[in-house]
Amino acid sequence: MRKKLRDDELQPTAEQLQCLYRLCYQLTNVMFQPIHIVRLDKRSLNIFILSGQNEEIELEITPDGSIEP
């Protein structure tokens, strides 16, 4: 059973932060795509990213740092 976390207790893992940095760099400096939302989902503990000119790119970073489309 997972402990219920308050919003102020939510923290991304070190692996998530490293992956988030790489993805943000690639999206903005390589692909020239805007980033609209970056959010830590308290249900799954995944980081959600919404980007793209028409908000067509949706990615999630799991706590172990892997990327899910």
Name the token pair of 57.
Answer: 């790119």
pTM, two decimal places: 0.86
The mean pLDDT of 43-53, rounded to a whole number, is 97
Please, what's the b/e burial string for 40-56 (b: 16 or more CB within 10 A of its CB; e: otherwise)?
beeeebbbebebeeeee
Q: Residue 25: pLDDT above 90?
A: yes
In the predicted model, is pLDDT for residue 45 greater than 80?
A: yes
Alpha-carbon gap, residue 20 to 29, rounded angstroms: 14
Residue 1 has pLDDT above 60, yes or no: no
* Beta bridge mates, 68: 60
Say whether pLDDT at 33 is over 90: yes
Give residue 6's pLDDT band: very low, low, confident or very high (50, 70, 90): confident
pLDDT at 4: 66
Strands 47-51 and 57-61: what pairing? antiparallel
